[in-house]
Structure formats: C-alpha cells, structure tokens
Amino acid sequence: MSIISKIKSIFKSSSAPAKKASTPTKAAAPAKKTTPAAKPVEKKTPAPAAAVNPKEVETLLAAIKERRTIYSLKPELPEGVTLSDIKDITQAILKDTPSAFNSQPNKVIILTGEAHKKVWNQVVDAIPTEDGKKRPQSAADEAYGTILFLIDDAVTKSLQEGFPDWAAAFPDFAVTSNGAVQISTWTALSQLPGFGAHLQHYNFLKGFLGDKIGENYTVQAQLVFGTKVAEAGEKTYNDNTIPVVTEL
Ligand SMILES: Cc1cc2nc3c(=O)[nH]c(=O)nc-3n(C[C@H](O)[C@H](O)[C@H](O)COP(=O)(O)O)c2cc1C
C-alpha cells in the first residue's frame, strides 16, 4: 500500500476511534449511582488525540523532519543497502507522484560507477573557478551515485497543444511535480540507515550524458548520494505559523 493510500485509510478510519470513545463513558455508568457528583467529569474524557495523530502520520512527519542535506559522504552504499533498494524506492515514488492531468512528465536516471564519476569530472572541468569546482569535485570523489531528475518536455508540449487555454501553466506544473519526486525521493531514501545525500542543480550536465538522454528531456536536479560520514549541522527555522482564515 502506498504512503498516500495509507494516510487516506487512516483519515477515513479516524472517526472510528471517536465512536469508541463513548465506550469508556458507558463503562463508567455504574459509578454514577454511587457518586453522582463525579459523573460530568468522567464524560470529559474522549480520546481525540489518538484519532488525529495516528502512528503512520507521525512516521511520515518524522521522515520529513529527518531528511537533511548531507555533504559529508563516502563513495559506498550504506551497509545492508543495495542499489536495487535505491532504485525500487525511487521507482515507486516516480510512479505515485501526482502530475497535472496525470501527464507523468517526470523521468529519473541513476548514475553510478564510471558514469557518475565521468559526468561530475566534466562538470568540474567546465567550471572556471577553483572554489566553484569544490562541490562537483566532492560529488565525483566522495559520492557513490547520482539520481538525476528530468522532465520530458514533449509531454508538456503535447499538453499545451491539447489544452491551449492552460498552455502557460504547464511548464510550472511539470516543475512542481518534478520537485515532488525530488523531495519525496530524498526523504524516503534518508530513512535508509547510513544513507546521506545532497541536492544539486548543475543542470548543464545534460550535455555530458551523451545518447543516454533524449533531446526532449531537461535535467532538473541531481541527488548526490553515498554513505553518510557526518550528520548535518544545526538547522534554524523562521517563524512561519500557518494562519487559518475563515472570513475575508
Ligand atoms: C529547490 C531546492 C534547491 C536546492 N538547491 C541546492 C543546490 O543547488 N546546492 C546545494 O548544495 N543545496 C541545495 N539545496 C539544499 C538546501 O540548501 C537545503 O535543503 C536547505 O539549506 C535546508 O537544509 P536541509 O536540507 O538540511 O534541511 C536545495 C534545496 C531545494 C529544496
């Protein structure tokens, strides 16, 4: 069952525990006869917290919180993790991520071994400053692989032709959906013990992929991954409380 299906089923069933909350009140009924004054207090004890905070949602929120940018990597897979694990998880996310009109414009390519190193070394060579070379050099030398996120622009073009009134929106819709694939993949893989990754945007590396990539594809981002050597630093948060608006 997908994460989304799980959450849907949890929220569907969330009314059930609320009904169950009436059971303890019934059980307390005999006590009313002996201590009538205490009865109203007992009625105040439904269990809504459990109903709105099921364990599966907590697990998902913890994964979202635990995903971090990890720059300190070594070029190995974490112990017990296979490349198939990484591919299967990414494949599942690619499949289930929503897209405009269910157009599914997202593509993913995983680079490892010689291909990973060759592409990043070419990025290094293409960057003129020593400082600018540092990040791609670390990707080449310290990471095990790269997950490339792409958009098939032919899909966007055909949507624009099919729905001309919405033509201007489709490129943004594709990027939005691709971003969802990126973050979900990063989040899910970060749950694998020892896994570390950082997200990069050297999108010109498309030119170094040769015939592995169609002309109609654009590279959107790179998730550079390997075994985590050090944890992420402390993260600061802005105050960003969500207002709930009921009237304007
Ligand atoms: C859309 C997006 C673009 C990003 N681009 C880069 C990037 O090009 N290079 C980089 O090192 N990190 C990049 N990051 C990582 C952010 O810097 C990082 O997520 C942010 O500082 C918060 O840290 P955290 O990932 O540990 O939570 C990007 C993140 C997002 C979501």
Give 210's contacts (C-beta < 8 A, 6+ positions apart).
none
Give 100's contacts (C-beta < 8 A, 6+ positions apart).
159, 169, 170, 173, 174, 176, 177
Atom of ligand 1 nearest to the CA of 135: 11
Average pLDDT, the chain: 85
How many angstroms does the Cα of residue 70 sit away from the middle of ligand 1? Answer: 10
Q: Is 175 in the pocket of ligand 1 (CB under 6 A)?
A: no
- For ligand 1, atom 23: residue with the closest CA: 69
Q: Is 65 in the pocket of ligand 1 (CB under 6 A)?
A: no
Q: pLDDT tens digit string along 163-204?
A: 999 999 999 999 999 999 999 999 999 999 999 999 999 999
Distance CA 90, CA 49 (A): 33
Q: Is 12 in the pocket of ligand 1 (CB under 6 A)?
A: no
Instruction: Find which of 4-13, 22-31, 78-87, 211-220 is predicted with most confidence, using mean pLDDT.
Output: 78-87
Task: Give me the residues paired with residue 147 across strands.
Answer: 110, 223
Instruction: Find which of 14-18, 51-55, 213-217 is predicted with most confidence, using mean pLDDT.
Output: 213-217
Mutate-to-test residue for ligand 1 from 64, 66, 69, highest number of ligand atoms within 8 A of CB: 69
CA 22 to chain centre: 38
Distance CA 86, CA 188 (A): 9
Whether pLDDT at 20 is above 60: no
Distance CA 169, CA 55 (A): 37
Residue 213 pLDDT level (bands cut at 50, 70, 90): confident
Whether pLDDT at 224 is above 90: yes
- For ligand 1, atom 7: residue with the closest CA: 200
**Residue 82, amino acid:** T
Kindly state the average pLDDT of the residues 40-63. Answer: 74
- For ligand 1, atom 8: residue with the closest CA: 200
How many angstroms does the Cα of residue 199 sit away from the middle of ligand 1? Answer: 6
pLDDT given at position 46: 58
How many angstroms does the Cα of residue 85 sit away from the middle of ligand 1? Answer: 24
How many angstroms does the Cα of residue 169 sit away from the middle of ligand 1? Answer: 25
Domains of the chain with CATH codes: 3-61 (no CATH), 69-228 (3.40.109.10)
Atom of ligand 1 nearest to the CA of 71: 11
Kindly state the average pLDDT of the residues 223-231. Answer: 98
Give 187's contacts (C-beta < 8 A, 6+ positions apart).
63, 64, 67
The structure tokens 């099919």 sit at: 162
